[in-house]
Chain A
């Protein structure tokens, strides 16, 4: 039973990959976007750090490593197909899954994993090219314990974001207009800032960081990268990992509940 169930979702991931390759141009353009975004923010920080190499208690190499590192963590945490779920809810295509013996959550999780793998592969390639081109000073973490914690935190961030994002998609049951884009846009704007996409959060004034650092959004990019840079001590790391696990449980529960509630008012539009 378990094995056949695994096979089911493995097939989903495989089919998702084949589907992804059909629009090669689209995928290439998407990666180009990522590089452009990365370069834009990189050069800004390069300019800032060259004026003041120890600004914000960051060394230049730490700061640039943070910025370049967001690219890979982004691919792992934010790379997703499951955002299409909200379109399916609003268009009624959700019907296709509801009548089948398949879990909608696991379905999208499998597709996300497939997508993330592809994106990480490309992201690593891009970063390598950028490193050769820009030749920035890079901070290399060598402590195995830190590296393992970094990896673990990244994976937890990925799962956490999956449920979080799904929860946002679920709002489309109640606000189906424009495929749920308005609420998603709002979340994107907030996340870009609150997750540490533009800069590490600990450069903020201590009072602001005290709040933002506690929000779940900080775990998506900021926490894994802080761990990599060795800026958190062991007790902070352990607390962070526990908090992430806690948030995964909470978000998962919320997403499940919301899904069940949403289905009750689901219109299955498009008669």
Chain B
């Protein structure tokens, strides 16, 4: 029986070999004759499956193996070992039928023809993906409207701003209505406004077309806003795979209580409640252990002249940092 998931990865490994060189001319000459090689485990035995319509976030520091995984899923890299299936195809075979159903967008690379207006690339892609004329028109019009790029279609790509270019990159990638979409750092280098535009677009695209999307990003904002499920990866291994909310439940050991006092209070007394992040009358922010939140906030209200009190989750960045700095193992054990 065939796997019903859209994407399934089993025991995937991808290793590279690189050589090292001592600094200086001497090292150069020596490395001309003898070379020391080291193995880099870009992806080291990972497993996951993704169902239709899911929007999954890949999180991890630089060099964690996110992009390598995406490249394997796209059929660019030949896996060292393991099994990969996307839409029932082995990506490595690069069957036209498979390629017509997915798209890869990389924030740091471009597929648009640098010296020509984006429209030329769109037309080229239409032919490459054999998109029928009417469907092409419909899709293009819709994408142009969604991303608001009508005015720049006839301007040379090299003259576009990064934000405009990324919008056009997205259009070029989506013209053939891919069922599966890999977005690698789509918001990198973009300003806050443009980041939001991109996020809204991805969200809408996912909902409207029921497409399956994997997104990697450095910006936790992207992930938090878009992805219900996240896969956290570091040094080629998966550290966590599940609902974003579960990461928070598991790894956010603290919550933040913000209190506004009506009168000045004794800071030392306040310190007994938890770690004071900042205190500037009349406002204080305190880190308190999650499990004690209810108890401690009740005590706060009774012990101090409180005007206002808000309980928040720690920022997602901080939680993820916890995951990477090894708190993971403790909680796991």
Q: Direct A–B touching in the complex (beta carbon < 8 Å)?
A: yes
Interface residues of A (CB under 8 A from B): 4, 7-8, 10-12, 15, 18-19, 22-23, 92-93, 95-96, 98-102, 263-268, 270-271
**CA of A23 to CA of B156, assembled, Å:** 13
Chain A residues with Cβ below 8 Å from B104 are 95, 99
A99 touches B116 (CB 8 A): no
A19 touches B116 (CB 8 A): yes
Report which of B63, B68, B97, B102 forms a contact with A99, defined as CB distance below 8 A: B102
Does B283 belong to the interface (CB within 8 Å)?
no
Chain B residues with Cβ below 8 Å from A98 are 74-76, 94
B113 touches A99 (CB 8 A): no
A265 touches B78 (CB 8 A): yes
Distance (whole angstroms) from the CB of A1 to the closest CB of chain B? 9
B127 touches A11 (CB 8 A): yes
Closest Cβ neighbor of B78 among chain A residues: A264
A-B contact pairs, 8 of them (CB 8 A): A22-B116, A23-B115, A96-B109, A99-B76, A101-B100, A101-B130, A265-B78, A266-B77
Distance (whole angstroms) from the CB of B69 to the closest CB of chain A? 11
Top 9 nearest A-B pairs (CB, nearest first) are A101-B96, A11-B127, A271-B67, A22-B115, A264-B78, A101-B99, A268-B76, A96-B111, A8-B127
Chain B residues with Cβ below 8 Å from A267 are 16, 77
A15 touches B116 (CB 8 A): yes
Closest Cβ neighbor of A265 among chain B residues: B78
Does B108 belong to the interface (CB within 8 Å)?
yes
Chain B residues with Cβ below 8 Å from A264 are 78
**CA of A92 to CA of B76, assembled, Å:** 10
**CA of A23 to CA of B113, assembled, Å:** 13
A271 touches B68 (CB 8 A): yes
Given contacts A95-B71, A95-B104, A267-B16, contact A7 B127 (CB under 8 A): yes
Q: How many A-B residue pairs have CB under 8 A?
A: 79
**CA of A101 to CA of B98, assembled, Å:** 8
A99 touches B103 (CB 8 A): yes
A92 touches B109 (CB 8 A): yes
Report which of A8, A12, A100 forms a contact with B99, defined as CB distance below 8 A: A100
Distance (whole angstroms) from the CB of A20 to the closest CB of chain B? 9
Given contacts A4-B130, A93-B109, A101-B100, contact A268 B115 (CB under 8 A): no
Does B124 belong to the interface (CB within 8 Å)?
yes
Distance (whole angstroms) from the CB of A107 to the closest CB of chain B? 9
A100 touches B120 (CB 8 A): no
Does B310 belong to the interface (CB within 8 Å)?
no
Closest Cβ neighbor of B102 among chain A residues: A99
Q: Is the interface of A mostly helix, strand, loop or mixed?
A: helix
**CA of A271 to CA of B106, assembled, Å:** 9
Interface residues in B80-137 by Cβ distance below 8 A to A read: 94, 96-97, 99-100, 102-104, 106, 108-109, 111, 113, 115-116, 120-121, 123-130
A8 touches B130 (CB 8 A): yes
Chain B residues with Cβ below 8 Å from A19 are 113, 115-116
**CA of A15 to CA of B113, assembled, Å:** 9
A266 touches B78 (CB 8 A): yes
Interface centre among B71, B113, B121, B125 (most CB of A within 10 A): B71
A11 touches B124 (CB 8 A): yes
**CA of A93 to CA of B68, assembled, Å:** 15
B120 touches A102 (CB 8 A): no
Known: A266-B76, A270-B108. 12 other contacts (CB 8 A): A8-B127, A11-B127, A15-B113, A15-B116, A96-B109, A99-B74, A99-B104, A101-B96, A101-B97, A268-B71, A270-B109, A271-B67
**CA of A7 to CA of B123, assembled, Å:** 11
B103 touches A95 (CB 8 A): no
Distance (whole angstroms) from the CB of A162 to the closest CB of chain B? 20
B124 touches A95 (CB 8 A): no
**CA of A92 to CA of B102, assembled, Å:** 19
**CA of A219 to CA of B102, assembled, Å:** 43
Distance (whole angstroms) from the CB of B231 to the closest CB of chain A? 17
**CA of A135 to CA of B96, assembled, Å:** 55
A100 touches B116 (CB 8 A): no
**CA of A95 to CA of B99, assembled, Å:** 12
Distance (whole angstroms) from the CB of A101 to the closest CB of chain B? 4
B109 touches A99 (CB 8 A): no
